[in-house]
Structure 1
Amino acid sequence: MADLTLATSSREAIPDLRPVVRANRVMLALDLGTTTGWALHGIDGLITSGTVSFRPGRFDGGGMRYLRFTNWLTEIDRLCGPVAAVWFEEVRRHAATDAAHVYGGLMATLTAWAELRGIPYEGVPVGTIKRHATGKGNAPKEAMIAAARARGFSPADDNEADAIAILLWALETKGGLQ
Structure 2
Amino acid sequence: MKNLKKLMYFCAFFATVMLQSCFYHVDDSPQRYSGYEPVYLSRQQLESSIKMSGVRSMTKAGKIYVKDSYIFITDENKGFHIYDNSNPNAPKLTGFLEVPGATDMAIKNNTIYINQAVDLVAVSINNNSVTVQKRIPNTFPQKISPEGWSYGNSDNQIIVDWIKH
Normalised to the residue count of structure 2, the TM-score between the two structures is 0.25
Determine which structure has the larger strand proportion and give its number. Answer: 2
Highest CA radius of gyration, 1 or 2? Answer: 2
- Which structure carries more helix by proportion? 1
Asked which structure has the greater RCO (Cα within 8 Å, sep 6+), the reply is 1
